[in-house]
Structure 1
Amino acid sequence: MRENEDQWCAYQATGNCVILAGPGSGKTKTITIKIARLLAEDVRRPRRVACITYSNACVGELRSRLTRLGVGDSDRLVLSTVHSFCLTELVFPYAKMAGLQMPDPLVVASPAQARALFSDAYRAQLGGNAPAWFRMACDRLRRTILDRGSDEWRAGSARETMVVEAYENLLLQNGLIDFDGLVLAGLQLVEKNEWVRHAIRAKYPVVVIDEYQDLGVPLHRIVLALLQAGVRIIAVGDPDQSIYGFTGAKPDLLTALAGLQQMESVTLKLNYRCADRIIAASRALLPEPAEFRSHDGRSGEIHIHRLECSIREQADYALGTLVPALLEANPSWAPGDIAVLYRTLNEGAPIAEAADALGLQYFRLDNGSPIKRTRVTEWLTDAARWCSGGWQTGEISLSQLLKAWRRMYRSVTHESELLATRKRLISALFSLRDSALPLRRWLLALRRDVLDELLEQEPGLADEKDNLEELTAAAGAGGPLRAFTVEIFGNQGKMPRVKQDESSASIWMRVLALRQRWRA
């Protein structure tokens, strides 16, 4: 890190700090090494470090990097999404003591339950069925105007505010809270109760926030309240990478945080992912681009293939003509080295259809993928890798799986129950060590032995039930994962490189949501 002046400056910072990190700037390396140093030098037991990020995929990436550094998130570090942090570190321990009006027992609504109650609220207030855009507008309203008694709330659209209020009342009447409600409850606890802020500071003297540009107004206000209470804040993100404005994300909040007097601001300017020509083309799209440059001075190549045709026809050309030509011209490349980038799920569907028509294998990372990036599916992927040989190679350890399982299974508090659960889990995993086992059979066995019970008992995993049903269905007859074995699933749709047929025309599509429509 000493060779990168900006990374070294961020690593050495001893107070509150905002790290503005462009794509490919080594942000994850910087933040994980920073956390490791905090745990080694600054935070002593029984105090802990909290790291909050946007999604379960981000949590998984940070956990993987930290594990390679020998840093686990057991009793010294908490890695979680903002929803999980608000549930486990704010609402569960403090809501009753603060007199907050909450369901008792606390049950988090599944996405299906939330959709049904919102539809009921819409029909009761406006009649008919709610269009998709209206639900999105109401969600954005809840995430950006947080004070229900404020002039700003009363000045908003009466149609939206009345449906939101009716929806939140229905949730409470049915003994439920949704994920946005968890964050709003966490904010209320922190802003209105000084003793809650002191409790958080006592337990978490340092709070690290990753992907700050996507986390929105509620977390920003929580951060400001904790900052004033003396919690050390380290925020990482890039306003130019925010793509969730339609959900209520406000990237300018990160800029505002960086401008506070008590914050040190560091910008990571070296790019380890792209060459200079590609960086220059990217900067042309930004209103106020930073002076990013490649770390090694590579020039890179851009070839434009202009096609006046549909997305499907573009995909046919890209997958049927360009990809085989690239593989032939670059013998050292494997199909998995090629990425197809496009804007949204709407473009992803015809591209996937083109790949299917050509008989190409691929892996999607957008919401059209049958393998969603959630806590349970991340754990299942690791478990599949262990069952398909990881238990022999040491690629993933049983202790890692058990620790990750314990992080999800928070409701078990008695030692005897915990031991019984661990025993059933270990027995199930050992009985399923077969890389060639069909994915559906493997999933059904795990569900019967341990998974269904977990999802039934854990309120914080309410959104996982539907995801697991969809995954199981996708692995069944006629589903897109019907041919998946445990090994293929563990490799996220990719066979290990040593087993790939180099003459095959397979390609894995790593799909990213980009602002610019894919034109090549």
Structure 2
Amino acid sequence: MPLRRVSAAYLAQAEELRDNVQQWAAYESRGNCIVLAGPGSGKTKTLVLKMARALAEDVRAPRGIACITYSQECTRELTRRMESLGLRESSRLFIGTVHGFCLRHLLIPYGRLANLGLPDPITVSTTDHSQQVFLRVRARLFGEASTHRKIDMDKHRRIHLDRAAPSWREFEELATLAEAYEEALHHDGFVDYEDLVIYGERLVTQHDWVLPLVKACFPMLAVDEYQDLGVGLHRIVKRLAFDGGVRLFAVGDADQSVYGFNGADSSLLHDLAERPDVECIKLKVNYRCAEAIVRVSERALGEFREYRSYDPDRQAHIDLIECPDGLTQQAKWAIEKIIPAALRRQPGRQIGDIAILYRNAGIGDVVAGAAADAGVSFIRVDTSAPYRKCAITSWVEDCSAWCAGGGRDAKPMLQGLIDRWLAFHRLPLADNNARIHIKKLTEFLWSHRENRSAWYFVSAIREKLLDNLIAGNACLVDQAAQMDAMTRALQVGGILHDLDMAGLGGRDGSPDQLNLLTLHSAKGCEYDVVIMLGLDEGTFHWTNVQGNDLLESRRLFYVGVTRARDEVYMLYSGWNENRGRRYYSGRLRFLEELNAD
């Protein structure tokens, strides 16, 4: 029996897990638990209900649960699902990225006590400023002609956390560059996102006194998408769980590990799952994909996983389409042929149920051009998007959605917007200052309940609320840069100038807009219809790719196929272009294994 009042929604939804033996076992687990969850297996639902139960039955107030996930998009989805159960972010529930957890719950409260040597106050550098520091240091050390890249230096910092180990100096120039870069950045009074995890890990692993303090706040730690989160988080998790007594509940799928270029290592998930003091549960039922798509996806992966569709009789449509004239023809074929047919095929289907997936933003430019030429409205999620998703930009989008009409259906919930607003100020709900901030926010939202231009709304919310917040919070410097990018995109002449408030509120998905995403951005998403473009050797990956890079490329292809509920279209041309030359390297090698022609 629950120890205190719980959400009726949580109890009702929990009963839905009972018929799935593996989901129910995860829900009933009492100790450390790792859930290995294939595509469409209901892992997010299982994770959310497990956290809801733990908050209701196991973790007594004022203590809480910290839930760490990979990206801002994942954070947003988990937050919405918890809100639907009547549970919101508060001092008892943290949902955020590993960087956010390290900053808010490790470095800010304990960093100065541990004499970590970080700037005080901790101010996160903007991406542009970090790049400028890197270029300055690189030129000083190795000359203007140096070809060292920041992405390589950051990966070295991310993977080799022990600076005393021989592996740190395995690539001597990268190690020297990293040390000089960090010294220069800190001298300027800033840290970067890599620092947050690096120093968070040092704090936890080198200072025993921190462990009971973290456990006192968060006796349970939940981790989503564990396979993508890297060495730093893995060390933090092991230290908190197995030395600090924090209970661990983590979900992940090594087959969907696609961030090796960022330092992610899928073997870390298996390392946890194989421990004798951890219960390992595997989810086998795919609630998303039709049976034919499940079977094709296993051929795409090159491994048999014994997954099965929840609805084995549901029909699927799978097609490989050759477009010999290249990417432009692929994009045009998708927009003008596939999408209209898919909309006709299923009554009630909307264009928001369809996604076009591709390898990189360059292909996204081609697709966006074809969609614009055809008058198709779209949402784009890749590196060419007008601004990067972060906590503040996502919150502004949700405020816009509420004012434009979403508030009538509690989508999003007003209380959730308030909780996130207070979290920016790091204020508990009962604080007297919190009441002032709540009043300002609710008055603003209530007075802007109309669907005007997004530019008008963003200008107003910045003037009345956000600019003062950002000016007084050094931790929000990088997020302020993304708010500036959003503002530029919405102003006259900007790429999103014609957007209204409802459109801004639907920037993470709208029934009336086609979804354009990179394959990496599509992780965690699902659509009725998935169209994959650029499936050619030399376009999807280098023609000479091998080893771990080839395995990761295969997993990325697998991720794309498994986003689809009912229909998958795979388009190729048989050639690729590089520096103006055409290379007939053939279609993607994984297509040869599908036997779906």
TM band (smaller chain): over 0.9
Aligned equivalents of 1:380 and 1:235: distance in 2?
30
| Partner in structure 2 of residue 504 of structure 1 | none
Whether 1:426 aligns to 2:442 is yes
Using the TM superposition, name which of 240-249 and 227-236 deviates more: 227-236
**Aligned to 1:319, which of 335, 339, 342?**
335
Indicate which of 261, 273, 277 corresponds to 2:276: 261
Mapped partners of 2:116, 2:337: distance in 1: 61
1:19-418 pair list within 5 angstroms: 19-128=35-144, 131=147, 134-154=149-169, 156-228=170-242, 229-297=244-312, 298-370=314-386, 372-410=388-426, 415=431, 417-418=433-434
Letter in 2 for 1:341: L
Q: Distance in 1 between matches of 2:62 and 2:427?
A: 22
Distance 1:47 1:481, change over 3 A: same
Partner-residue secondary structure (3-state), 1:341: strand
Q: CA deviation at 1:426?
A: 3.0
Cα deviation, 1:262-294, whole Å, max 9, x if unaligned, reads 111111111111111111111113254421111
Query: Offset at 1:415?
Result: 5.0
Q: Which residue of 2 aligns with 1:474?
A: 489
The equivalent residue for 1:519 is: 571
2:502 alignment partner, SS class:
helix
Tell me how far apart the structure 1 counterparts of residues 163 and 372 of structure 2 sit (CA, whole Å). Answer: 49
Q: Given that residues 488 and 494 in structure 1 are in contact (C-alpha distance below 8 angstroms), is that contact kept between their aligned partners in structure 2?
A: no
CA apart distance, 1:246: 0.3
Confirm or deny: 8 A CA contact 1:411 1:458 kept in the other structure: no
Query: How far apart are residue 417 of structure 1 and its match?
Result: 4.6
Q: Deviations over 1:452-489 (max 9, x none)?
A: 22222223322212211111111122322111111221
SS in structure 1 opposite 2:41?
Answer: coil
Q: Which stretch has the larger CA shift, 411-420 or 106-115? A: 411-420
SS of the residue 1:443 aligns to: helix
CA contact (8 A) 1:119 1:129 kept: no
State the shift of 1:509 in Å.
2.2
2:462 to 429, 447, 455: 447
Look up the SS of the partner of 2:281 in the other structure. strand
Q: How many percent of aligned residue pairs carry the same amino acid? A: 37
- AA aligned to 1:224 is K
Count of matched residue positions in the alignment of Structure 1 and Structure 2: 508
Offset, 1:149:
1.9
Is the Cα–Cα contact under 8 Å of residues 384 and 486 in structure 1 kept in the other structure?
yes
Q: State whether residues 410 and 458 of structure 1, in contact with CA within 8 Å, keep that contact through their aligned partners in structure 2.
A: no
Cα distance in 2 between the residues matched to 1:335 and 1:22: 27
What is the alpha-carbon distance in structure 2 between the residues aligned to residue 442 and residue 372 of structure 1? 19
Between the aligned partners of 2:296 and 2:460, the Cα distance in structure 1 is 50
Q: What SS does the aligned partner of 2:571 have?
A: coil
**Equivalent position amino acid for 1:519 in 2:** L
Distance 1:6 1:299, change over 3 A: farther
Point out where structure 2 has 5 or more consecutive residues left out of the alignment: 1-16, 521-555, 561-569, 573-597
Partner SS state of residue 462, structure 1: helix
More deviation, 319-328/80-89: 319-328
Give the Cα separation in 2 of the matches to 1:250 and 1:372. 25
Q: Secondary structure at the match of 1:285?
A: helix
Give the 3 Å change call, closer, same or farther, for CA 417–180 of structure 1 in structure 2.
same
Paired amino acid for 1:324: P
Q: Is the 8 A contact 1:283 1:289 kept in 2?
A: yes
Deviations 1:46-93 (A, max 9, x none): 221111111111111111111111122213211121111111111111
Q: Is the 8 A contact 2:427 2:434 kept in 1?
A: no
Give the distance between the partners of 1:176 and 1:97, measured in 2 at CA: 19
Quote how far apart the aligned CAs of 1:243 are: 1.3
The answer to whether the Cα contact below 8 Å between 1:370 and 1:471 also exists between their aligned partners in 2 is yes
Amino acid at match of 1:300: A
Q: Please say which of residues 171-180 and 335-344 is displaced more in the overlay.
A: 335-344
Contact 2:358-2:364 at 8 Å conserved across structures = yes
Q: Per-residue CA shift, 1:431-455, capped at 9, x if unaligned?
A: 32221x1111211111111112222
Q: For the residues of structure 1 that align with 2:320 and 2:133, how far apart are their CA atoms? A: 48
Distance 2:176 2:127 in 1: 21
- Report the equivalent of 1:509: 515
Higher deviation after alignment, 99-108 or 328-337: 328-337
Q: Compute the RMSD of aligned alpha carbons.
A: 2.1
Indicate which of 33, 49, 59 corresponds to 1:17.
Answer: 33
Letter in 1 for 2:514: W
SS at the partner of 2:143? coil
Q: CA deviation at 1:338?
A: 1.7
Show structure 1 runs of 5+ residues with no match: 501-506
- CA–CA separation in structure 1 for the residues paired with 2:490 and 2:180: 39
Distance 2:266 2:234 in 1: 11
Distance 1:93 1:423, change over 3 A: same
Change (3 A) 1:72 1:176: same
Instruction: Note if contact 2:72-2:389 (Cα within 8 Å) is conserved in structure 1.
Output: yes
> What corresponds to 2:547 in structure 1?
none
Q: 1:173 to 1:371 in 2, by over 3 A?
A: closer
Q: 2:66 and 2:280 mapped to 1: Cα distance?
A: 20
Write out per-residue CA displacement over residues 124-153 of structure 1, whole angstroms, 9 at most, x where no aligned residue: 11111665x711111110000011121111
Q: Residue type of the partner of 1:25?
A: S
Q: Deviations over 1:93-112 (max 9, x none)?
A: 11121122111122111112
Structure with higher strand content: 2
Equivalent residues of 1:84, 1:460 under 8 A apart: no
Letter of the 1:237 partner, please give it: G
Shift of 1:419: 4.0
Query: Which stretch shows the higher mean deviation, 139-148 or 66-75?
Result: 66-75
TM-superposed deviation, 1:189: 0.9
Q: CA deviation at 1:365?
A: 2.4
Distance 1:394 1:18, change over 3 A: closer
Q: Mark the CA change 1:418 to 1:129 in structure 2 (over 3 Å): closer, same or farther.
A: farther
Distance 1:206 1:272 in 2: 28
Correspondence for 1:465: 480
What's the CA shift string for 1:173-230, capped at 9, x where partnerless? Answer: 1111111101111111111111101211222111111111111001101111112221
CA contact 2:88–2:416 (8 Å) conserved in 1 = no
How far has the Cα of 1:363 moved from its partner? 1.2
DSSP-derived class of the 1:279 partner: helix
C-alpha contact (below 8 Å) 2:425/2:469 kept by paired residues? yes
Instruction: State the TM-score, normalizing by the size of structure 2.
Output: 0.81
Q: For the structure 1 residues 13 and 129, does the alpha-carbon distance in structure 2 shift closer, same or farther, using more than 3 Å as the test?
A: farther
What is the SS of the residue equivalent to 1:97? Answer: coil
1:411 deviates by 7.6
**TM norm structure 1:** 0.93
Shift of 1:240: 1.1
Q: What is the rounded CA distance, in whole Å, between the counterparts of 1:211 and 1:485 in structure 2?
A: 33
Amino acid at match of 2:293: I
Aligned to 1:503: none
